[in-house]
Structures are given as C-alpha cells and as structure tokens.
Chain A
C-alpha cells in the first residue's frame, strides 16, 4: 500500500516535471547551455573490490607515471603534472569530464577516437613516449580510474570544469621578453632558470618545461591557449592567481618558444609539418622566434626510450 502510493506520487511528480519542462522549453534550453557541475567520488572511497584494485592501480599510475608505465614514457612527467590533484581538479583537464566525452571525433586526426586511442595520444605526445596497446593493462587501469571518477556523471555532456578554462585573448600580444621576465620572477625557483626542472639525485620533483625531458611538439600543452589557461588557473602551485592573465599568456609564449622533442608526425620538413598539423595562432612550431625557427633543432621524439639513451 505504502509502496504503491509512493510510486504513484513519484509518477505524478515525474508527470508534473515533464509538463513544467515542456512549458518552459526555452528556459530549459538556456539551462542546457550552462555546463552542469559535477563532483567526483571522494578520493579515499575507491571500493575494496577486484575492480577497485584496478582503479587504484590507475590512480597510482596517474600520479607516478614513469615508475608504473616506464616502458611507455620517454620523459619524467607524470599524468598528474598537468592534470592536478590526480586528475580530479576542475579546470585542470579533470579525468571525470574527459571520460564522458569519448568516443569523440577529433580534428587532430580526423576520425572518431575511442578513449583508449585518446590515452594512447597522451603517451605519444605529452609523455614523449610510445602508445600502449589499447588492451594493455596500463590503458585498462587508466580507463578504470577514469570511469570510477565519472561515477554517476551524465555522458556526452561538457561538464563544468572540463579541460582548461580558456582565457580571453590577452590585452597585448604575448611577448617573449615579458614572458622571460615573468618566468624568472614566478617560475624559475621551481622549474629552473632554463626550464630544465629540478630533481634530487635521481628523483624528479619539478617537471622540465622544455628540452629533451619535456613534452614534445605534438602535445596539447605546446598550444598557447592551453598553457596560458593552465598557468593562470594553477601556477605557482598553491599561489594560483599570482600571475595576471597577460603574464600567463606571456609565460606560456616564452615556455613554448623553446625547443622540445620533435612532433612524432614530423614529415621531414618543419614548414610542411606546420602546415599539416600546426597551422594556427595557437602554435609557435615552425615560426621564427628570437632568430630561431622552432622545430628546426628539435631532438628526435622518444626521450629516454630512444635507442642508445
């Protein structure tokens, strides 16, 4: 009796809601435009189950990537270097927001990418390494961790905090010399005067921002918009907001106006590679900055994985 009446009440509520939605359709559309908020499950609540065990492997792999997936990683970055708080932080390309957007068509390669293929791209470009097979335990663990983080999120929806929050175009065109000054003021104490990062003995602490130990020319972070947004929202760690939007753009420009490992899709010509993959204001690849054509002196991709290294 109780159950039946509750069910009836729920039906009535649903019907009312449907009517209300139909009546307020334009308003509902407007609400659709605002990305819905989402909170992933608490970090400490990974279930103690056989599935949870693989989720935890994905989490640890994400935080300490070279140690757990060294065969696929050519640099000393961790996934969590750019996806802060183990991929949980909004506006820091959180995993829960990415999970619900795949499979997706990507202009980067002109076809529908599964989540596995997207993750392979991370290894190939951002980690300057080589992609694990789609069914490799590394990919399975990462996908499991992402799936768990996205528990109860709507699919196919751009959630609030997805990607990096785009900055408006800077008041002045991003500038190398201003970027160099801001870099020395805000960034060098951690990332080193030459962007080389810092390690204690063989233990990396601050990631390299350019050079052979950093991400390569195919990585998303080489794009000025991504880098400026990431820097402005997150850097310096714990002191986000110290850099103005203009300074974030300038530092992004300075950082990405240095050589880094070659784009793995390199065609044999910098100009051709730019025309094919980097023909945008967002990329300095193939452009001359401070008298140097970027990409023309790039070390081959692969970093530590290269033969003889």
Chain B
C-alpha cells in the first residue's frame, strides 16, 4: 500500500548527500560475502585500531556521565546508525568519536548500533515514565520545558517526542534521562551551530535555536538528574520537593 518515498531532503542536507551515496554504493558494490560481525566482541575489544566502545561507554553501554560519555544501551538502532555514520564522515564532528567511527566498516557500525539498541536501558523506563505525574513548577525552567515546553516560541515539550520521563521511543527518538548535563547541553548547542546533522525533519535544530543559553543548561540538568528524582518519587512517602501527589 505505501509507496516508496525518497528520503526527505532534510534528512540528508545536500552537503551530505555525496557521503551518504558513497556509503550506499560501497555497500551495494561490495563483492565479498557479508561476514557476520560479532558486535559484542567489537564493543568489548575494539577493531581496526579503534578503541573498545566499552572503555568509555561502559561494559553494558551504560555510559559514564561523570566523564560526559553518553549511555548507548536501549537507544534506537536507526538513531545510533545515523550517529555513527555522521561521526565517521564528519557531519557530526567529534575529536574522540570521529576517528573511532571512521576506523569501523559500515557493516561494523551498523552491527554495533543494533547491538547497543538491543541492550536493556540503564534506567527503569517505568519509573522514569511515572515522573509525568509530578507536575512541574513553572519556576523550574528545566522541568517545565521538558514536560510543558515553551509554546509561546513554538517549542513543544521535550517529552512529547522523547517520551514521558525522557525514555525515548522507537528508532529515531533517543532517551534523554540520565545522559549527563554536559552531553545534552553540548548537543543542543551543536544543533544551534550546525555541528550536528539535522536529523528527522530537522526537528532538533528548529527547537534548539529557539532556546536560550539558560534554558539549555536547565533542561540538560533536568534530564541528567531525572533518574534520581524518579527513584525518590518511587519510594513510598517521599515526594520530590514541590511535586504534586
């Protein structure tokens, strides 16, 4: 029933299309039979001179928030594939991850993306989602942006796409809860400065450019601390300060 539709031009901006095409061609023209990639081994040991993923992102893909390394476990495979490719071809410039991603073959990148997508997320999604019942105080800029948005400047609530409690959904919308504040804020600023590919429908550059510096820091801090808040809320008799039962 559905017609095949070409990728939206916004998904691959013109500057990136040759790179995307090159990858597609190298995949299509590859004559060697596909070797099954042992992603778990790759993640643990690295390959082709690239460092092991686990050395920064943790043995279970849980990340290292203190050092600003994001968790990968349970993020959508489509999202992870796109990021690895963008890191490899420089569309998402990153001095640490760029060389690592570039050292991997496209098949290895995709296998790793699928591997991490299949790992259980580091935080309990049910508990995180339950934070939707904590009504934000309007003075709490981060919580308000996350749960209510800033519609006067056409910014939807982050949770409207990233899910209640920022648990993420599907292939394209990554979890936010528990990523470090530094990491989240850096990504929002990268979109503002054109240093991250626009992603589906260029949703994130549109939103990020409407946020103030203070709002970026506040919403990043909110999601970084949400797993603790969710745990506190789940403990009977303990409600977050200012929260509503």
| Chain A interface residues (CB < 8 Å from chain B) | 42-45, 56, 59-60, 64, 67, 84-86, 88-89, 177, 180-181, 184-186, 189-190, 193, 198-203, 205-206, 236-240, 242
Contact = CB atoms under 8 A, between A and B. Distances in A.
B244 A184 contact: no
A237 B125 contact: no
B155 A238 contact: yes
A184 B156 contact: no
Given A85-B151, A189-B201, A200-B167, A184 B206 contact: no
A203 B148 contact: no
B169 A200 contact: yes
Contact of B206 (A199, A200, A239): A239
B244 A56 contact: yes
B106 to A, nearest CB: 22
A43 B148 contact: yes
B125 A86 contact: no
B79 to A, nearest CB: 11
Contact of B161 (A42, A177, A185, A237): A237
B160 A86 contact: no
23 contacts: A60-B244, A67-B132, A67-B133, A86-B148, A89-B151, A177-B3, A180-B1, A181-B3, A184-B2, A189-B200, A198-B170, A200-B170, A203-B167, A205-B161, A205-B164, A206-B161, A237-B156, A237-B160, A238-B154, A238-B156, A238-B203, A239-B201, A239-B206
B15 interface: no
A64 B148 CA distance: 12
Interface string B1-12: 111010010000
A190 B132 contact: no
A184 B154 CA distance: 23
A195 to B, nearest CB: 11
Interface of B: 1-3, 5, 8, 125-126, 129, 132-133, 135, 137-139, 144, 148-149, 151, 154-156, 160-164, 167-170, 172-173, 200-203, 206-207, 244
Nearest to B144: A44
A180 B163 contact: no
A200 B125 contact: yes
A201 B129 CA distance: 10
A190 B151 contact: no
Given A86-B148, A198-B170, A200-B169, A185 B138 contact: no
A240 B137 CA distance: 27
Contacts of B5: 181, 184-185
Contact of B132 (A42, A64, A177, A186): A64
A240 B125 CA distance: 30
Contacts of A180: 1-3
Nearest to A81: B160
A89 B153 CA distance: 11
Given A84-B151, A85-B149, A201-B125, A44 B138 contact: yes
Contacts of A67: 132-133
A198 B170 CA distance: 7
A206 B169 contact: yes
Contacts of A88: 151
B154 A44 contact: no
**Which 8 A-B pairs rank lowest in CB-CB distance, beginning with the nearest?**
A44-B138, A85-B151, A205-B169, A184-B5, A237-B156, A200-B169, A203-B129, A205-B163
B135 A56 contact: yes
Given A193-B2, A203-B163, A206-B169, A43 B138 contact: yes
B8 A185 contact: yes
A300 to B, nearest CB: 24
B133 A238 contact: no
A64 B201 contact: no
A200 B163 contact: yes
A236 B186 CA distance: 24
B172 A203 contact: no
B124 to A, nearest CB: 10
Contacts of B3: 177, 180-181, 184
Nearest to B126: A201
A42 B137 CA distance: 12
Given A84-B156, A180-B1, A237-B161, 10 more contacts: A44-B137, A56-B135, A60-B135, A177-B3, A181-B3, A185-B8, A200-B168, A205-B173, A238-B155, A238-B156
Nearest to A242: B201
A42 B148 CA distance: 13
B176 to A, nearest CB: 12
A180 to B, nearest CB: 6
A34 to B, nearest CB: 22
A121 B1 CA distance: 34
A60 B164 CA distance: 14
A247 B64 CA distance: 44
